[in-house]
Structure 1
Amino acid sequence: MSDLTIKERLIMTPGPVSIDPRVSQAMSNRILGQFDSDFLTIMDDTMELTRQAFETKNKWAFAVDGSGRAGLEALMSNIISKGDKVLVPVLGRFGNLGIELAQRAGGEVITMETEWGTVFDQDEIIAKIKEVKPKVVAIIHGETSTGRLQLIDRLGAAVREVGGFLVVDAVASFMGAPVKADEWQIDAVVGGLTKVFGCLTGDVISDL
């Protein structure tokens, strides 16, 4: 049986990107058990770097062995209970994913939409928050399908005024644009490593 050989590709799709050779080298290293002291040191270092990346002091900033969708579903299924109001502003394809995940968790989903290729004025979203008073606002920061960046720096305060939680999908924007979790009062955010960071598919970073 011959060795597996993958031809060189420059990947420029909306999904995975070409990874840095240093990532390939790190992934080919020796395996450590999850309770090995060296592994725990690596995890502690990774969590500290994650806190720096999200500009947060939150203890629960960690890597998740799964896709961006897996990270978001874990968040939403733990925050949303049956009948909870969930506001999902849709600015592209992945807003629809937010709707799907919220409904699967049992949420009563309220949507607002803007034309693809555009973003919301934050005042529009804040007005809707005050009207609906949702338990959760789930929003995309960097929308992969349109390449647009949604401003979210004023939403956290508005959501907290009504006693809710702000959940942010920063899978496509993580490490490419600031995500100031503490300053923007984000309650939970997921950042993907397979976009700007140029790592392997199946790894996400969360700040809870």
Structure 2
Amino acid sequence: MTKPTRLLELGTGEYGKTALLAFPGGWQRTIDLPTQADAWHPLFSELPQADVQLLRKHAAHPIIRHPDGTRTRRGALSFVTEEVSRVGGWTGDRCFDVPEEHCYAGFVTGYRCAAELLDALARGYGPHIIKQHVIKAALQASDEPHGKPSRRGAGTAFMEVIGEALTFMAKHARHREYMAAKIAEAERLQATMAELDAKEKAAFVERMKAARLSKAQRRVSTTAQH
């Protein structure tokens, strides 16, 4: 696949954001970026980093200014909301930002969120998704009060899919090899950190010995002068 080497111009077209790019051989082409994830496509892997950042910023969702003065924009998923400062900087994420609904409506929302996450992961490119934060937020939502509109139904449905995904992995993936590699990696890290900790402790002991010896020598020198 021939990849562009330079970003020439950013714009907007019939299908949303666009980018005019230069390719090897001197030819140019305008590419549509209908979704935010498109700016992360492997096609752009040979662009200069500055061009990549411009491209991703161009494709990002717009900042929404709320009546209470807060500012947000959609994150990597439709149910992830980024909190934005007055100068446009990131200040935090709401990782399971779904409406408060009655139980059965919440189930539909939760399944749709899970489907969206799976689609994004299957795509293999796009804005980074911190899966642990999304799962933690959904788990917290599943513990909200029942009997009234809340995020409980959505969180419960989402976590059901997470549990079933683990079961699917256990039955259909090479999970033993995967976990053996994970455990071996963790054991290597544990050994490395233990060795580093031992070296740091030994160095600290030597510094303390040197400090006590220096103090004793100064005391002897002072006594000799008197």
| Larger gyration radius, structure 1 or structure 2 | 2
Q: Shorter-chain TM-score: what band?
A: under 0.3
Q: Which has the higher contact order (CA 8 A, sep 6+)?
A: 1
With structure 1 as the length reference, what TM-score do the two structures score? 0.21
Higher helix proportion (structure 1 or 2): 2
TM-score calculated relative to the size of structure 2: 0.20
Write 1 or 2 for the structure with the bigger share of strand.
Answer: 1
